[in-house]
Chains A and B, each alone.
Chain A
């Protein structure tokens, strides 16, 4: 595999391989020296055209934990503000000979375009409302760690599906691994014909009880301005996941950042059912596994343990 642009680039086997490797990398994160030499001498370029805290920092941590060198490029304060096109920026940065480019943009398909303009591997860290494949992988990893497998799991994705690249990547990834996926949200915030992605569409939480995993999406304030929903209060009244709606046997996930009191109530965020903290932790090890997957195939690399090895005391 050369690029990770979409969940469609991965089959079930590849997803499981990446998650298994992520598990072996968790051991690295627990060491005192959180570094292995697997990608020593490799160069990773973080190209972010959109604000991001956790995705960008977790990619940086992941690359550094594998001993790669990292260049961060943020569009603000750069030549992009002087009108440089994406193509020119990518070609300029390619002169630094990166082995891998992590790119986030507000534009659908931008990662795929970039892949055509560089010899480096490309990882899509979010392209508009299209996809966010590494988020989906870390979510799959988090669920596997909890349930062992996604086969037969009932997963509900609740909220602003229309504007969510996470929802799109997750529907594809979850169904690939055998889960039954339902998306639920206001009719104004679920695109027409969304069922074509292979999920069910609901507009009320009436049957939320059937879910094993409840995955809430971020409800962005700017949606109010476009009248997608009349008010956050109305939204919360119908779609907020709270202690009353979340059954004790269910687990809760969210891609972050959370709007406390909007899509989730404080009690469920802080409850033992919440896997939100685990998702963040999974972000680093899964991205390590993705970097390894894409770069390991190219020339000889230092070996990486395939299973956790006990550390000498």
Chain B
């Protein structure tokens, strides 16, 4: 199954004297990196490599070069909701965040639940996507939770995997069938875990903040009980599942227990759940802080961080969920769930966790691309012979989220107004330069 994108000319490029950090290849020192025809041709001591004529030179001194990030969970809103995001703007936002591949969710309008819809989308991505995109297809038709989609046909049409993201697969029997069918397709099944009867009409985490604000709460057990259920079903069927956007301590526990007994289960956590809590809502009911699953408590946040450290949590995924301004400029209870995240993923985690000594830079860089393997996609590596998929980052650059505007079509970013450190200066995806930060591009010119 392949990723699709609009082909750009392969890069001839010299990144000069950047600190190359690739936890997988063990590189952690300044290097010159030469890219020829889109492939990493040579790695050398700083100052040792010459730029061939016609090659672009990126000045890396004092900057870091990472393997490009891969996001297994984004909403590109195409087809049908292009007023929120489209393939061009969404992949531009991804490139600006250092991402070299993203996987788009099927809860579009229409839902990606049949091969013709998926084929049309793949064709469109070949024309419009600036970086490689993979598409998930729905588990059930119309995300209705009842009838399985034609998974074999969808898989042949290019589906990376299957998910009803945005909604849980509420009926255990339906998930069981999907997992039986997985033996045919082999594709990952990704799950948004939530018990609708426990979430009810909740709009935020159930706790002292919701008690104070008079908002209906979504209890942590809404998520964790479904994870426990689905882990048991996957275990029984020998299936493989990926749990999306973990938010609660109890969920980390449920995943850890399932892993311990050998269930083929992986999971992701978002930058906002790693850095924010429900207490942020006490400073004003900002609808950009409304997402599903909701921001939870400090205890939950700490458990997610610990999960990343001990390997229970496999990767960081943004759940980039753009919404138009008028959709979010309404009372909190009426606003749709979701925050954008592609452009702020690295900076938010770096600022709040790495700079505070909570997580190592290497771990964060690794977890920002380890989602690739979970979706059966190639993992970017900085080594000779590999396709160039990398991002150049200035760790010292401080900026205010939203101040330079967004590449995304939407501006509902939960980090808006925060001062963060770490700016992506350039991104190379599929062997081509797909992003140059404005001032950086000007200084290079």
Taking beta carbons and an 8 Å cutoff, which residues of A are in contact with B?
85-87, 105, 107-110, 112-113, 128-131, 165, 168, 191-194, 196-197
Contact = CB atoms under 8 A, between A and B. Distances in A.
B270 interface: no
Interface residues of B, number: 20
Contact of B211 (A85, A131, A191): A191
Given A191-B217, A192-B206, A192-B207, A168 B212 contact: yes
17 contacts: A85-B329, A86-B331, A105-B331, A107-B334, A108-B214, A108-B333, A109-B213, A110-B331, A112-B284, A130-B213, A130-B214, A165-B214, A168-B214, A191-B206, A191-B217, A192-B211, A193-B211
Interface string B275-286: 000000000110
B208 interface: yes
B331 A107 contact: yes
B210 interface: yes
Nearest to A172: B212
A113 B333 CA distance: 12
Contacts of A109: 213, 285, 331-332
Given A112-B285, A196-B208, A85 B330 contact: yes
Given A87-B329, A107-B333, A108-B332, A129 B206 contact: no
Interface in B167-214: 206-208, 210-214
B215 interface: yes
Contacts of A107: 331-334
A251 B445 CA distance: 80
B160 to A, nearest CB: 37
B331 A108 contact: yes
A193 B208 contact: yes
Given A112-B284, A192-B206, A192-B207, A197 B212 contact: yes
A109 B285 CA distance: 6
B310 interface: no
A165 B332 CA distance: 16
A192 B213 CA distance: 12
A108 B285 contact: yes
A168 B209 CA distance: 12
Interface of B: 206-208, 210-215, 217, 219, 284-285, 326, 329-334
Contacts of A85: 326, 329-330
A196 B207 CA distance: 9
B329 A196 contact: no
A108 B211 contact: no
Nearest to B333: A107
B211 A128 contact: no
A197 B326 CA distance: 33
A105 B210 CA distance: 18
Contacts of B208: 193-194, 196
Nearest to A168: B214
B211 A197 contact: yes
A225 B348 CA distance: 44
B203 to A, nearest CB: 9
Contact of A196 (B211, B219, B285, B332): B211
Contacts of B206: 191-192
Contacts of A86: 330-331
Contact of B214 (A87, A113, A128): A128
Nearest to A190: B211
Contact of A194 (B211, B329, B333): B211
Nearest to B210: A191
Given A110-B331, A130-B215, A193-B211, 9 more contacts: A107-B334, A108-B333, A109-B213, A109-B331, A112-B284, A129-B214, A193-B208, A194-B211, A196-B212
A86 B326 CA distance: 11
Nearest to A114: B331
B207 A193 contact: yes
A87 B330 CA distance: 7
A197 B209 CA distance: 9
A179 to B, nearest CB: 18
Contacts of A113: 285, 331
A129 B284 CA distance: 16
Contacts of B212: 168, 196-197
A192 B212 CA distance: 10
B299 to A, nearest CB: 13
Contacts of B211: 191-194, 196-197
A312 B431 CA distance: 93
Given A86-B331, A87-B329, A108 B207 contact: no
Contacts of B285: 108-109, 112-113
A39 to B, nearest CB: 29
A129 B333 CA distance: 11
A110 B211 CA distance: 17
